[in-house]
Amino acid sequence: MPIIFTSMKFKSFAILILFQIAISHQLNAQQYLPYFTVVHLSKNQNKISWNNPNKNCIQLSVQRSTDSINNFRTILSAQSPQLAENGFIDKKAPEDVQLYYRIFYTLKGGEYFFSKTVSPVELKDNIAANKKPSKPSNKKNKANKKAEKSSKVLKSSYLRMDKKGNLLLHLSKADQLNYSITFFSAEKNKLFSIDPIPETELVIEKGNFLKEGWFEYELKEKGKLIERKRFYIQ
């Protein structure tokens, strides 16, 4: 007859087993090392590099296999396992077989983990994958800034901008002829007009435009358009 356990001791034992299994699963589910690569340099040589986020690491070993699951053997035990970045070159890597590498590391207190399994990649593929986009040269940046600054310079026969960013309007015959000027936003919305222009020299403060950006104006003489330009308020 089969033996059926009904005692409390068996129940407690079963709960303890499940708890131990859960703890074991939690340890094995730790995150992999955040950065672990293997690059094929030349015949029989692979470069292994890694980052180690665990400052309390007391043992770190690199292991190699030909089947990705079993038969891993240690080919290096790091002398300074606590270093944040490290690596070495496997100079005895077998040729003409698929190789797999992983890292085994132990922490203070006895916890131990395995990294994910990685196969070597060719050097040129790794360079292409990790190549950072080149930054524009300083000369190009300076040229772009100069061109941008130049585009914001107001080139007008009647209007210029002072060092404070205010507009200076000069019309030598304003007291004789009927001039008017209208300002618009970049979206062609009318902001305000001065009609007629009362003085031969007039300062239009930049505060009238309320914000930084592009604006336009139309200058007319006796109702006839004589100048239309855009300008930038800093």
> Are 30-129 and 154-233 in the same CATH fold?
yes
Domain boundaries, the chain: 30-129, 154-233
pTM of the model: 0.42
CATH code linked to domain 30-129: 2.60.40.10
The 159-161 sheet, strands edge to edge: 159-161, 167-170, 201-204
Find the farthest-apart pair of alpha carbons in the chain and give their distance in angstroms, rounded: 126
pLDDT in 10s for each residue of the chain, 234 residues: 444 444 444 444 444 444 444 444 444 444 456 578 999 988 889 999 988 877 888 898 999 998 877 789 999 998 888 888 888 899 999 988 899 999 988 888 888 888 888 899 987 655 555 555 556 556 656 656 655 555 677 888 888 888 888 888 888 888 888 999 999 988 888 888 998 988 888 888 888 887 888 999 999 999 999 999 888 888
Give me the helices (H) in 2-155, please. 8-28, 123-130, 138-151
Q: Which CATH architecture has domain 154-233?
A: Sandwich (2.60)
